[in-house]
Amino acid sequence: MSSEAQLREQICVLARSMFERGLTGGSSGNISARTGDGGLLVSPTGTSFGRLDPARLSRFDPSGKLIGGDQPTKEMALHSAFYDTRSTAGAVVHLHSCHAVALSMMPGIDADNFLPPLTPYSIIKLGKVKLLPFFLPGDPAMGEAVRGLAGKRSAVMLANHGPVVAASDVEAACNAIEELEDTARLAMLVRGHDARMLDPNEVAAIVEKFDLEWGD
């Protein structure tokens, strides 16, 4: 099996796993990954993460031209914005995961640092997650908002919509977005309780030990 065939299969296996565990439902969510030649494989528009066909993934060449497969997700602007602004991006995942969306609706959320410091793992896998405002689905302005971050964030949360995460490869991107959803679920579970958060010194120690992006 060629490396591209393996990547096609990996995208579909990971997407199906997230669908089967309720991280995104129906035909929501989209996923993309860099190919060996610098092109992209992208989930087609209107498809379910539970039933992606490796042979029908949208295939783009390195110049951004669609050269095979079905028509891509209408959220291509989001994916392109991450690839164009983060040189380390090898994959992008977008979900409509329930707890992350719920947390985005809550009052008092820090838009610059969406996830509260509950465990080390969201800090390690995601850095600071930027909460972006609500956009109409498919609005190219979502991509422009990501571009406006100038590659400084690996993850954003679209208010009332869902998270988007970029990482070095498709497995890392899926792991990171699952960590985002898990942390949002924890945040909703402890909301209204006097939960002990990690303090700023503990966060700083995590950032230093793991040499993390933790700036603007």
Of residues 4, 20, 75, 178, which has the active-site annotation? 75
CA distance 180 to 155: 9
Q: Exactly one of 4, 121, 171, 213 is catalytic; which is it?
A: 121
The whole-angstrom separation of Cα 52 and Cα 43 is 7
**Angle between helix 170-190 and 3-20 (nearest 10):** 20
The residues, any chain, with a CB within 8 Å of residue 99's CB and separated by 6 or more, are 181, 184, 185, 187, 188
Write the DSSP symbol of residue 207.
Answer: H
Amino acid present at 176 = A
83 is catalytic: no
121 in catalytic set? yes
Helices (H) and strands (E) in the chain, counts: 7, 8
Positions marked catalytic: 75, 121
